[in-house]
Amino acid sequence: MTSTNRTAALCGLLWLTVAALAPAHDAVIHAGTLIDGLASVPRQHVSILIHDDRIASVEPGFVTRVGVDTIDLSNATVMPGFIDCHVHVSSKLPSRTNAIEDWLTHSDLDRAFDGAVFASAMLQQGFTSARDVGGGDDTVALRNAINAGKVPGPRLWVSLEPLGPTNGNADPRAGLDRLLEHRDWDNGVVNTPDEARLRVREHKRRGADLIKMLPSGGIASSGDDPRQQLMTNEEMRVTVETAHALGMKVAAHIYPADAIENAVRAGVDSVEHGSFATAQTFALMKEHGTYLVPTLTVYDLYYDVATHHPELLKPGTPEKEIANDLLPKRNLALAIRSGVKIAYGSDTGEGDHSMEFRLLIANGMTPDDAFIAATRNAADLLGASDRIGAIEPGRYADIVATASGPRQDPAQFGQVEFVMKGGVVYRQHGAPVAH
């Protein structure tokens, strides 16, 4: 364990003992500059009044209230907490993990503890909400523990295991000895519309907030081809219809243009990755209001590992990584030009979730639009615009601050000095807060 990891683990343990004891206090934040996520122009010198876990009002000037703590951010830039719409909260960095060894020697219980440590780190980076699109029962338990104040972390929306066909990206047996068995390995496997309907309902029963599906082959998976559509249009349609009827959105991990277009017509709410999309694909997504979550971060991380440590990845996947990982970056300019709605997603668990800001901006997105992707758009994709994604009365007091404005200095997105979630301060003066 590195000293950084040990510190992170100790912080996790510390929080375990204190978080449940830290109810939200009423507070007034003096914001030097406020980027509220709604107005296009920042406001100067405003006060954010917080009652319990919610924003009560936003008032001009620096006001105080008798008996209420004042938090001085009068020299800082204050923003709504960031939202990562594509995480796997318990995933370790590919550079320090052998993918097969990790998969076969860890249980969901192990992953729950990893997830608690990584979720705590994510919150310290300013991510106050996240959507986990592929995990086990550990993600449901972690979401519930965070909501109950037992461990610190972002508000989580979880999908449980992604749905997909035998030998697709969702089939844990792909690439393994065919005699290996685990009772959870069929949790996401669907080969008929009826099985899709059943899995969606089972996921709902087990605590899923949304459904993820894998209609095309994957890149980090053994034995399938990212250029092929693997689910039938009917399986996709029934998945979406059943999920929507149960109040759940559907995220689809897809690469080929024609498969994306079929998924969009089936009614999915977001396309994850979308690597081979064309101008026509993006136009159809725009017409249907479908979000794109480009996930540039994961491709950079895997491209590096495939180049320098291919032995860590699943058999047969380094070649796919090298061939495909640079495409989403090249395609981002086309996506931006098309006007398709874009939401922020890193596709990571452990590690630096702010990396996606840097990559989006380096590949053609303005800092303002990257901020909107991680706040207003992300909240809309989650179906939670009434609660998160902006600083306005009635929404949760999920608030971050940086020393200077990320519009002028985009590196600030990765240097969050202050984090409040639900009215509780978790980071101040650039360091974790002990309660």
The three-state secondary structure class of 421 is strand
Stretch that binds Zn ion, among 2-10, 73-81, 184-192, 347-355 (CB under 5 A): 347-355
Sign of CA dihedral 272, 278, 280, 283: positive
By the 8 A CB rule, do 151 and 12 touch?
Answer: yes
Amino acid at 1: M
Amino acid at 276: F
Of 224 and 347, CB closest to Zn ion: 347
Subset of 170-199 contacting Zn ion (CB under 5 A):
none
| Whole-Å CA distances, 8 to 12, 77, 118 | 6, 26, 8
Of 345 and 389, CB closest to Zn ion: 345
Decide: is 209 part of the binding site for Zn ion (CB under 5 A): no
Of 209 and 398, CB closest to Zn ion: 209
The minimum distance between CB 39 and Zn ion, in angstroms, equals 33
Tell me the C-alpha distance between 298 and 359, whole Å: 11
The minimum distance between CB 117 and Zn ion, in angstroms, equals 19
Subset of 262-321 contacting Zn ion (CB under 5 A):
none
Of 321 and 347, CB closest to Zn ion: 347
| Whole-Å CA distances, 159 to 151, 231, 353, 377 | 20, 18, 19, 19
Paired tokens of 267:
């009614």
Q: Return the residue of 84, 171, 325, 347 that touches Zn ion, per CB under 5 A.
A: 347
The minimum distance between CB 334 and Zn ion, in angstroms, equals 22
Chain position carrying tokens 């240097």: 415
The minimum distance between CB 298 and Zn ion, in angstroms, equals 7
Paired tokens of 432:
């974790």
Of 131 and 395, CB closest to Zn ion: 131
The minimum distance between CB 86 and Zn ion, in angstroms, equals 6
Tell me the C-alpha distance between 295 and 134, whole Å: 14
CB atoms within 10 A of CB 25: 13
Stretch that binds Zn ion, among 153-161, 217-225, 228-236, 343-351 (CB under 5 A): 343-351
Of 347 and 398, CB closest to Zn ion: 347
Of 221 and 239, CB closest to Zn ion: 221
Subset of 50-79 contacting Zn ion (CB under 5 A):
none
For 223, left (φ over 0), alpha (ψ -120 to 50), or beta? left
Tell me the C-alpha distance between 84 and 154, whole Å: 9
Of 114 and 347, CB closest to Zn ion: 347
Tell me the C-alpha distance between 354 and 364, whole Å: 16
Subset of 405-434 contacting Zn ion (CB under 5 A):
none
The minimum distance between CB 28 and Zn ion, in angstroms, equals 39
For the chain, the distance separating the N- and C-terminal CA atoms, rounded to the nearest angstrom, is 26
Q: Any idea what the Cα angle at residue 424 is, between residues 423 and 429, rounded to 5°?
A: 115
The minimum distance between CB 134 and Zn ion, in angstroms, equals 5
**Sequence-ordered strand ranges (E) for 179-303:** 211-213, 250-254, 270-273, 291-293
Please identify the residue of the shown chain whose CB is closest to the bound Zn ion. 347
Stretch that binds Zn ion, among 28-36, 108-116, 213-221, 346-354 (CB under 5 A): 346-354
The minimum distance between CB 242 and Zn ion, in angstroms, equals 22
Of 78 and 381, CB closest to Zn ion: 381
Stretch that binds Zn ion, among 70-78, 303-311, 344-352, 370-378 (CB under 5 A): 344-352
Find residue 78's DSSP bridge partners. Answer: 34, 401
Find residue 216's DSSP bridge partners. Answer: 229
The minimum distance between CB 295 and Zn ion, in angstroms, equals 7
Of 261 and 272, CB closest to Zn ion: 272
- For Zn ion (CB under 5 A), the number of binding residues is 1
User: Which of 90, 144, 118, 154 lies closest to 400, judged by CA?
Assistant: 154
The minimum distance between CB 345 and Zn ion, in angstroms, equals 8
Binding site for Zn ion (CB under 5 A): 347
